[in-house]
């Protein structure tokens, strides 16, 4: 990781080399921002880069947009993406599409390219495969200038996340959301410790993908948030709490099979930078949940 | 449907013919009960029949047990069951097994026959495929006399349900459970009307089978219980409430996607004759449920 | 109680005598309605009477309004009210005012009379002392014509309740609200039977008046609703559930003193003809409540 | 405040002078502990002092017990208590008793003295007036040796709290409990900010004493816990949340009067050193609460 101080002290050439990839194949953005050094904060650096883009001519903006690869496209299959793009697309599973999914993305990409003459650009770290498909549908209804504006907005988000992962700074950019949980046992009046918890991502097609499996600690929480230090991808999730095994271990009188075995809580995330606290307050015979804080 | 009065007035021969099938291939039970007429209630009739079985010799009891077909066995495949057995086995899907499931049942039947020398008998109307498999496992650990006793108990339950469906009486046998729901909108302070509700049966393998789809009425309830007028099969269920569409229609401010879209409530039934009321008390941002009454 | 049939069959004189008190000191209303007989329903009778008032001259309407006594006024103290008025004012405790309260009502009555030249009329069976005081304040801000309209509306409500108590009919007027409760024990997964419940009326001054004390039955409900067969007076109430004694009796592990001893639920009624179902879903360590149906 | 380092470095005389009041009128305890210096922790210092008491003769123990004043007794009225005792008794309101209460305490003190020959000693900072009265009743049923043991246990608790307030140390004694709350608005899906909250102490006689009034912050919490940095006195409390004003300010559709105006949550504290988190999860039409963590 570079530090802001190091970046502030570099020659223009070194600075441009260091941050040339923050905007895909467009090191001119870093070069333009270089002149505005020193930067007191990471936010100031990001602002200088986005200002450079905004000040550029329409041709240059369009070239920047077109410098981006298709999502899950042929370049990705051929291994011809930048390292950043490769890692970003992999994070949401775009490198593991089935043939059917690949066809679907290809059709959508082609439709989008056909309508707007630019690739469909989206900050994938804020999304799931499902929400990308929703965005495709929504953005196919935009007009040309809305399409360009939206593409630039997504490019700025991508740039911010790339800066965040490559430059360390005392104050970080506000890019990170959080998903956490907490299990309260109101049968015993204590935090529920030792409860197996799973987090699943659900797709509109009915697919379910296990994201993680953990166990609650003495305070009924997980040792670290379920998702943190990154945007929480827009999408639908299901938490599954193995409550029957917990209550059985604590000697509660249960029916056989227990009324509540695995408790599923299904919810959707709309703001990747938001804090989603989803507690379970439960007995063997009932429970409640809510968006907490 | 016959009435109790009609049965009380019949000749012994007619009575025995009418109720000869209540105990599988064993009309001697009806004949023995005939002498104890008149019956004031259906319960008295059922008691007389079970008393006749209990008074019989061990050989006769064993013959009664052996008169039953295998569950999902070759006789069923060959269409060689009594009409009652056919309909009972079909009610739980035993007539629609995949090859894999058929093999599994065959293995279990053979194991049970091998150990006890009798068919595995269970009152299928109180069960799901899953709970039958659980019972197979549990009952394979019994001893011979426990196996016979359990088989007779199940036969008595089967007989009661057959009586219930063939004889009308002012007071019915206590064979029927109930599953119901109720949706309260605590965002608006009203019963939630017009909420699409689905009831699914879940299996241990992860299969989900849609049992019914309905909509809540003005009181937030369904016009009739989800399950009634029969035992509620032992098993695991999931209610799915389409809350986002309800709240959207009522003008509530929702995120996009809504925090709560479809709310699943998963629970298990342990007492087929019990009343299971499973309400949903909800806003767009949280909900609670419990075993009500 | 008279029946509608009896009223339909009477002479005009008898009919007028029978219903002459429905409108305070104004038997002309009954006489006018008499001509519109027969009445198929109580609602039709009430409509005929209110139509007679609406059709009357402004002078006659004003006289009807002025025929009413002050609320908690000197006539009441002197025992000079009609039997109906006496019983109505007593129902809300206006016959048991402290000196301070009597002064307050006298001041409000005098202020109202001074501004509008008519007595303050309100259908007291729909109110508590507190909500009457709120109405005084609200209605002192009306203009003259609003004051007369509101007074007539209240007179029609009073008339409907008098009809309801004096005439029996197959279909009753929609005058009755209901307040009920239900206690669910989600520690044990059963309705909470045997829970002592109290219903209190709270005033803005901090006074609390015990309205009734009861105990839940096997279904966790009270044998009859807490309030029914009458309007539920507009006001603030508190239900108090003695949960610690219930859970102690059922062997739950409690702290000493128990975390939850008496659980109070405070709520207000705004629609006297509404159904207020206020359940308690509880364990020794937490609870929820909501306006149910 | 003294530091442990300072205490460890003092002469025996200074040490004894400094801590002579930790045990009421019994500086010999400090003197005995002095020899066991240096103390690495406050707990080690407290252990040394209690060990000195335990090692003393029965006569000396009895003298220590008898060195304590009556609770709310004549010495207190006459201003003849140590500064520590004066402040401790004042903390629970024993300096503000009505004549009736004073008589009651006098009778209990005299009864206790009469039975055991020692004053009734209790660590009042862990109690409310109500729980002191409960303890009087409970402890009057003890035998002589139980009475002495309990008195010593209370003296050790008093000593620990005196140490805690007079000696600073990196690790504090585990004497402090916490009472906190959190208001979640599940109508809007956000923490409820700006909610007026009151904390009341309730007595068995029906008295209610306002302990504090505060307002929730942006996270729906109070800026500091309702009670912290001290034991939470054993007793019964009521939190009162002004929810109607909150929801009115946020534009929610409410009835008039609102169904929920002020929401009271009544609960009791049994463990003064425990953490009591009592959240309110609410809409205008329902709410839940529970002992959280």
Give the nearest chain D residue to B282 (CA atoms).
Answer: D186
pLDDT value at position D98?
Answer: 87
Q: Is the pLDDT of residue C71 over 90?
A: no
Q: Is the pLDDT of residue B14 over 90?
A: yes
Least CB-CB distance to C191: which of B191, B219, B293?
B293
Q: Please enumerate in sequence order all residues whose Cβ is within 8 A of that of D67, keeping only pairs 6 or more positions apart, or say none.
A: D24, D25, D26
Q: Inter-chain contact C187–A286, Cβ cutoff 8 Å?
A: no
N- to C-terminal Cα separation, chain B: 32
- Which chains pack against A, by 3+ Cβ pairs within 8 A? B, C, D
Please, which pLDDT band fits residue D37 given cuts at 50, 70 and 90? very high
pLDDT value at position D144?
Answer: 96
B134 CB-side CA count, 13 A: 15
Which residue has better confidence, D76 or C160? C160
Report the C-alpha dihedral over residues B212, B213, B217, B222, rounded to 10 degrees: 20
DSSP of C164-207, one letter per residue? HHHEE-SS--S--EEEEEEEEETTTTEE-TT-EEEEEEE-TTS-
Q: How far is CA C141 from the centre of its chain?
A: 24
Q: Is the pLDDT of residue B97 over 90?
A: no
The per-residue pLDDT for range D150-160, each reduced to its tens digit, is: 999 999 999 99
User: Hey, is the C-beta of C270 within 8 angstroms of any chain B C-beta?
Assistant: no
Residues from chain C contacting residue A286 (CB–CB below 8 Å): 184, 186, 189, 281
DSSP A167: E
Q: Is the pLDDT of residue A76 over 90?
A: no
Give the nearest chain B residue to C220 (CA atoms).
Answer: B293
Q: Inter-chain contact A255–C189, Cβ cutoff 8 Å?
A: yes
3 state DSSP class of D122? coil
User: Hey, is the C-beta of B220 within 8 angstroms of any chain C C-beta?
Assistant: yes
Query: Secondary structure of C111-171 in the HEC alphabet?
Result: HHHHHHCCCCCCCHHHECHHHHHHHHHHHCCCCHHHHHHHHHHHHHHHHHHHHHHHEECCC
Between CA C155 and CA C52 the distance in angstroms is: 13
In angstroms, the separation between the Cα of residue D200 and the nearest Cα of chain C is 14
User: Hey, is the C-beta of A263 within 8 angstroms of any chain B C-beta?
Assistant: yes
Lowest mean pLDDT among B213-222, D74-83, D219-228, D282-291: D74-83
Residues from chain A contacting residue B134 (CB–CB below 8 Å): 257
Between CA B44 and CA A127 the distance in angstroms is: 66
Residue pair A89/A102 in contact by the 8 Å Cβ criterion: no
How buried is C47 (Cβ within 10 angstroms: 0-12 exposed, 13-18 middle, 19+ buried)? middle
pLDDT value at position D148?
Answer: 97
Between CA A186 and CA A189 the distance in angstroms is: 5
The per-residue pLDDT for range C234-293, each reduced to its tens digit, is: 999 999 999 999 999 999 999 999 999 999 999 999 999 999 999 999 999 999 999 998
Q: How far is CA C109 from the centre of its chain?
A: 21
Between CA B15 and CA C122 the distance in angstroms is: 71
The per-residue pLDDT for range A113-172, each reduced to its tens digit, is: 999 999 999 999 999 999 999 999 999 999 999 999 999 999 999 999 999 999 999 999
Please, which pLDDT band fits residue B233 given cuts at 50, 70 and 90? very high
Q: Inter-chain contact C292–B184, Cβ cutoff 8 Å?
A: yes
Residue pair B125/B173 in contact by the 8 Å Cβ criterion: no
Work out the number of other CB atoms within 10 angstroms of the CB of residue B105.
22
Between CA C30 and CA C19 the distance in angstroms is: 6
Q: Inter-chain contact B257–A264, Cβ cutoff 8 Å?
A: no
Give the nearest chain C residue to D206 (CA atoms).
Answer: C208
Question: What's the mean pLDDT in C26-42?
Answer: 97
Q: Is the pLDDT of residue C193 over 90?
A: yes
In angstroms, the separation between the Cα of residue B250 and the nearest Cα of chain D is 13
Q: Is the pLDDT of residue C28 over 90?
A: yes
- Which chains pack against C, by 3+ Cβ pairs within 8 A? A, B, D
Question: What's the mean pLDDT in B90-96?
Answer: 85
In angstroms, the separation between the Cα of residue B221 and the nearest Cα of chain D is 19
Number of A to B CB contacts under 8 A, please give it: 75
Q: What is the percentage of chain B residues whose pLDDT exceeds 90?
A: 86
pTM here?
A: 0.94
Please, which pLDDT band fits residue C85 given cuts at 50, 70 and 90? confident
User: Hey, is the C-beta of B132 within 8 angstroms of any chain A C-beta?
Assistant: no
Query: Secondary structure of B40-64 in the HEC alphabet?
Result: CCHHHHHHHHHHHHHHCCHHHHHHH
Q: Inter-chain contact A220–D293, Cβ cutoff 8 Å?
A: yes
Least CB-CB distance to C255: which of D266, D270, D287?
D270
- Which chains pack against D, by 3+ Cβ pairs within 8 A? A, B, C
Q: Inter-chain contact A291–B236, Cβ cutoff 8 Å?
A: no
Q: Is D215 left (phi over 0), alpha (psi -120 to 50) or beta?
A: beta
The per-residue pLDDT for range A159-216, each reduced to its tens digit, is: 999 999 999 999 999 999 999 999 999 999 999 999 999 999 999 888 899 999 999 9
N- to C-terminal Cα separation, chain A: 32
pLDDT value at position D213?
Answer: 98
Between CA D27 and CA D15 the distance in angstroms is: 10
Q: Inter-chain contact D189–B285, Cβ cutoff 8 Å?
A: yes
pLDDT value at position D131?
Answer: 96
Residues from chain B contacting residue A264 (CB–CB below 8 Å): 238, 264, 266
Residue pair C128/C92 in contact by the 8 Å Cβ criterion: yes
pLDDT value at position C96?
Answer: 84
In angstroms, the separation between the Cα of residue A67 and the nearest Cα of chain C is 56
Q: Inter-chain contact C257–D271, Cβ cutoff 8 Å?
A: no
Residue pair D250/D188 in contact by the 8 Å Cβ criterion: yes
The per-residue pLDDT for range B38-66, each reduced to its tens digit, is: 999 999 999 999 999 999 999 999 999 99
Position of tokens 């399950």? B227
User: Hey, is the C-beta of C255 within 8 angstroms of any chain D C-beta?
Assistant: yes
Q: Is the pLDDT of residue D73 over 90?
A: no
Please, which pLDDT band fits residue B77 given cuts at 50, 70 and 90? confident
Q: Is the pLDDT of residue B96 over 90?
A: no
pLDDT value at position D124?
Answer: 95
pLDDT value at position C91?
Answer: 84
User: Hey, is the C-beta of C253 within 8 angstroms of any chain A C-beta?
Assistant: yes
User: Hey, is the C-beta of C204 within 8 angstroms of any chain D C-beta?
Assistant: no
Residues from chain D contacting residue C262 (CB–CB below 8 Å): 266
Question: What's the mean pLDDT in B180-199?
Answer: 98
User: Hey, is the C-beta of D232 within 8 angstroms of any chain C C-beta?
Assistant: no
User: Hey, is the C-beta of D107 within 8 angstroms of any chain C C-beta?
Assistant: no
CATH superfamily of B177-289: Transthyretin/hydroxyisourate hydrolase domain (2.60.40.180)
User: Hey, is the C-beta of D264 within 8 angstroms of any chain C C-beta?
Assistant: yes
Q: How wide is the angle at C-alpha C150 spanned by C-alphas C144 and C153, nearest 5°?
A: 145
Lowest mean pLDDT among C90-104, C165-179, D221-235: C90-104
pLDDT value at position B94?
Answer: 86
Beta strands at A177-185 and A190-191: parallel, antiparallel or unpaired: antiparallel
The per-residue pLDDT for range B134-175, each reduced to its tens digit, is: 999 999 999 999 999 999 999 999 999 999 999 999 999 999
Task: Report the helix count and the strand count for chain C, using DSSP H and E.
Answer: 11, 11
In angstroms, the separation between the Cα of residue B1 and the nearest Cα of chain C is 34
Q: Is the pLDDT of residue A44 over 90?
A: yes
Residue pair B80/B61 in contact by the 8 Å Cβ criterion: no
Q: Inter-chain contact C291–B186, Cβ cutoff 8 Å?
A: yes
Q: Inter-chain contact B261–A268, Cβ cutoff 8 Å?
A: yes
Q: How many residues does chain B have?
A: 293
In angstroms, the separation between the Cα of residue A18 and the nearest Cα of chain D is 40
Between CA B142 and CA A263 the distance in angstroms is: 32
Between CA C241 and CA C141 the distance in angstroms is: 40
The interface residues of chain A toward chain C in range 161-190, judged by CB-CB distance below 8 A, are 184, 186-189
CA distances from C22 to B229, C42, C167 (A): 50, 13, 11
In angstroms, the separation between the Cα of residue A287 and the nearest Cα of chain D is 11
The per-residue pLDDT for range A14-43, each reduced to its tens digit, is: 999 999 999 999 999 999 999 999 999 999
Which residue has better confidence, B102 or B184? B184
pLDDT value at position A220?
Answer: 98
Report the mean per-residue pLDDT for chain B: 95
Q: Is the pLDDT of residue A95 over 90?
A: no
User: Hey, is the C-beta of B257 within 8 angstroms of any chain A C-beta?
Assistant: yes
Least CB-CB distance to C186: which of A189, A255, A286?
A286
Residue pair D280/D289 in contact by the 8 Å Cβ criterion: yes
Please, which pLDDT band fits residue D183 given cuts at 50, 70 and 90? very high
Copy the structure tokens of residue D139.
Answer: 């402890």
Least CB-CB distance to C184: which of B219, B220, B292?
B292
Q: Inter-chain contact D286–B255, Cβ cutoff 8 Å?
A: no
Between CA D154 and CA D172 the distance in angstroms is: 19
Q: Inter-chain contact D281–A291, Cβ cutoff 8 Å?
A: no
Residue pair D179/D187 in contact by the 8 Å Cβ criterion: no
Q: Is the pLDDT of residue A72 over 90?
A: no
Between CA B83 and CA D6 the distance in angstroms is: 95
Q: Is the pLDDT of residue A246 over 90?
A: yes
Between CA B109 and CA B136 the distance in angstroms is: 9
Q: Is the pLDDT of residue D18 over 90?
A: yes
Q: How wide is the angle at C-alpha D239 spanned by C-alphas D233 and D242, nearest 5°?
A: 160
The residue ranges of every structural domain in chain B are 2-168, 177-289
Q: Is the pLDDT of residue C88 over 90?
A: no
Q: Is domain C177-288 annotated with CATH 2.60.40.180? A: yes
Copy the structure tokens of residue A234.
Answer: 């827009």
Q: Inter-chain contact A293–D186, Cβ cutoff 8 Å?
A: no
User: Hey, is the C-beta of D291 within 8 angstroms of any chain A C-beta?
Assistant: yes
Between CA D198 and CA D241 the distance in angstroms is: 7
Q: How wide is the angle at C-alpha C233 spanned by C-alphas C230 and C234, nearest 5°?
A: 145
Q: Inter-chain contact B266–A260, Cβ cutoff 8 Å?
A: yes
Between CA B27 and CA B18 the distance in angstroms is: 9
Please, which pLDDT band fits residue D293 given cuts at 50, 70 and 90? confident
- From the options 3.30.70.360, 3.30.565.10, 3.40.1190.20, 1.10.3330.10, give the CATH code of A2-168: 1.10.3330.10
Residues from chain B contacting residue A182 (CB–CB below 8 Å): none
Copy the structure tokens of residue B68.
Answer: 């039953």
Report the mean per-residue pLDDT for chain D: 95
Q: Is the pLDDT of residue D95 over 90?
A: no
DSSP of B225-288, one letter per residue? -SEEEE---BEEEEEEEEHHHHHHHTT----SS-S-SEEEEEEEE--TTSEEE--EEEETTEEE
Residues from chain D contacting residue C289 (CB–CB below 8 Å): 286-288
Residues from chain C contacting residue A183 (CB–CB below 8 Å): none
Q: Is the peptide bond before B38 cis (omega within 30 degrees of 0)?
A: yes
Q: Is the peptide bond before A2 cis (omega within 30 degrees of 0)?
A: no
User: Hey, is the C-beta of D138 within 8 angstroms of any chain C C-beta?
Assistant: no
pLDDT value at position B153?
Answer: 98
Give the nearest chain C residue to B189 (CA atoms).
Answer: C291
Mark out the alpha helices in chain D (DSSP H runs).
4-9, 12-19, 28-34, 42-55, 58-66, 74-77, 83-91, 99-116, 129-139, 144-166, 243-249
Number of A to D CB contacts under 8 A, please give it: 29
Q: Which backbone phi and psi does D151 adopt, to 5 degrees?
A: -60, -45
B214 CB-side CA count, 13 A: 20
Residues from chain C contacting residue A288 (CB–CB below 8 Å): 288
pLDDT value at position D81?
Answer: 87
Return the closest-CA partner of residue C159 out of C43, C290, C237.
C43
Copy the structure tokens of residue A41.
Answer: 């904060």
pLDDT value at position A179?
Answer: 98
């Amino acid at each position: 990781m570079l530090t802001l101080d190091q970046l502030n002290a570099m020659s223009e050439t070194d600075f441009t080399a260091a941050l040339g990839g923050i905007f895909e194949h467009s090191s001119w953005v870093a070069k333009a921002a270089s002149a505005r050094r020193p930067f007191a904060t990471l936010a100031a650096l990001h602002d200088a880069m986005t200002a450079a883009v905004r000040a550029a001519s329409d041709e240059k903006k369009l070239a920047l947009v077109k410098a981006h690869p298709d999502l899950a496209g042929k370049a990705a299959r051929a291994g011809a993406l930048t390292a950043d793009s490769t890692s970003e697309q992999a994070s949401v599973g775009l490198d593991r599409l089935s043939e059917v999914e690949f066809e679907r993305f290809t059709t959508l990409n082609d439709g989008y390219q056909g309508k707007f003459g630019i690739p469909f650009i989206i900050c994938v770290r804020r999304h799931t495969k499902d929400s990308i498909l929703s965005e495709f549908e929504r953005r196919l209804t935009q007009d040309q200038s809305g399409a360009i504006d939206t593409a630039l907005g997504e490019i700025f988000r991508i740039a911010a996340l790339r800066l965040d992962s490559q430059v360390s700074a005392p104050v970080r950019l506000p890019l990170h959301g959080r998903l956490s949980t907490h299990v309260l046992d109101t049968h015993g009046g204590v935090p529920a410790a030792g409860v197996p918890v799973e987090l699943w991502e659900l797709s509109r097609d009915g697919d379910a993908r296990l994201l993680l499996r953990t166990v609650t600690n003495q305070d009924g929480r997980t040792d670290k948030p379920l998702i943190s230090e990154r945007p929480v991808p827009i999408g639908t999730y299901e938490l599954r709490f193995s409550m029957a095994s917990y209550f059985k271990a604590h000697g509660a009188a249960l029916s056989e099979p227990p009324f509540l075995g695995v408790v599923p809580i299904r919810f959707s995330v709309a703001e990747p930078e938001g804090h989603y606290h989803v507690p379970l307050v439960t007995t063997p015979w009932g429970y409640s949940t809510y968006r907490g804080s």
